[in-house]
Amino acid sequence: MTLLLAAGMALAWMAAPEAPPSFDAFFKEFAKKRDGIQALEARFTQETVSPEETIEAGGSIVYVKPRRIVFRYDQPKEGPAYLIQDGKAYEFEADIRQLQIYDLQDSPQTEVFFLGFDQNTESLREHYDVSVFDSDDKPNGSKGILIRPKGKEEEFGRFREVRLFLRDKDFLPYRIHIVNDDESKVHIAVSDIAVNGKLDLAKTHIALPPGTKIIENDALVETVGPEGKTVPANAAVAVESLDQPSSNEAPKP
């Protein structure tokens, strides 16, 4: 689940130190640009680097409000699909017909991940040091967000830092760098970003074939019957913009 952090959040926000005016101004603009994004579809490539090997993979991303995101790995071959919603992560492996469900309610890594696509930053800043950096990566973007865990590194264990490189026009990430430790890094490139376009609703959920074993928090809870099953149960997504023409621009507020 590297892309879920490996890829994975505001009462403590009220007690946090006051941020510099320039920082607050950036996130005010950030929230404004993100507010109009109702649905998003994109491609990604991922390079995971460690001393032993470098693994390359790729696939598709679908995001819809309210806070549902789906990843499907399809390069170099069909791989797992991941869905995150309502404090749960779903990991489906088609080759062995197995779905694993994890509870994420207490995982701040979830918010790091969603920061790539929605506008909420308050709960993220409760658990992480968040800052803005200049990337000067013309013509792609000029700003990025740096995220580092607060407290001792061993208390978190997932990553040391995450850098999101943002497009200027809508602050969506086009590149993500994750440093897990001194020897392990992940580089993700996001491309073909389509915002508020007509979206196939089948891409917003995971369809389970008959015989799929459903494991929740390490316990087998169900084997899917002959009629199959869709997860999550509320697979119908009400997104006003899904029938709009595809666009690479977020709507203007």
Task: Say how far apart CA 15 and CA 4 lie, in whole Å.
Answer: 28
pLDDT category at 3 given cuts 50, 70, 90 is: very low
- Parallel/antiparallel/unpaired status of strands 184-195 and 39-49: antiparallel
Whole-number Cα distances in Å, 98 to 91, 95, 150, 152, 206: 8, 8, 35, 35, 12
- How confident is the model at residue 201, as a pLDDT? 86
Burial 83-94 (b: 16+ CB within 10 A, else e): bbbeebbbbbeb
pLDDT category at 241 given cuts 50, 70, 90 is: very low
Domain boundaries, the chain: 2-243
Nearest to 177 by CA among 168, 167, 169, 166: 166
pLDDT in tens, 8-58: 322 222 223 344 557 778 888 888 887 788 888 999 999 999 999 999 999
Assign domain 2-243 to its CATH superfamily.
Lipoprotein localisation LolA/LolB/LppX (2.50.20.10)
Task: Say how far apart CA 95 and CA 214 lie, in whole Å.
Answer: 14
pLDDT for 142 beyond 70: yes
| β-bridge mates for residue 136, sequence order | none
Pairwise pLDDT comparison (248 vs 34), residue with the higher score: 34
pLDDT category at 121 given cuts 50, 70, 90 is: low
pLDDT for 248 beyond 70: no
- Parallel/antiparallel/unpaired status of strands 141-149 and 213-216: unpaired
Task: Say how far apart CA 250 and CA 169 lie, in whole Å.
Answer: 8
The pair of structure tokens assigned to 16 is: 């946090």
Winning range, highest mean pLDDT, from 4-13, 88-97, 234-243: 88-97
The pair of structure tokens assigned to 57 is: 């993979």
Among 54-68, 104-118, 141-155, the range scoring the smallest mean pLDDT is 104-118
The pTM of this model reads 0.76
Task: Say how far apart CA 136 and CA 132 lie, in whole Å.
Answer: 12
Give the residue-averaged pLDDT of 79-92: 89
Give the residue-averaged pLDDT of 163-185: 89
Q: What residue type is 225 in one-letter code?
A: G
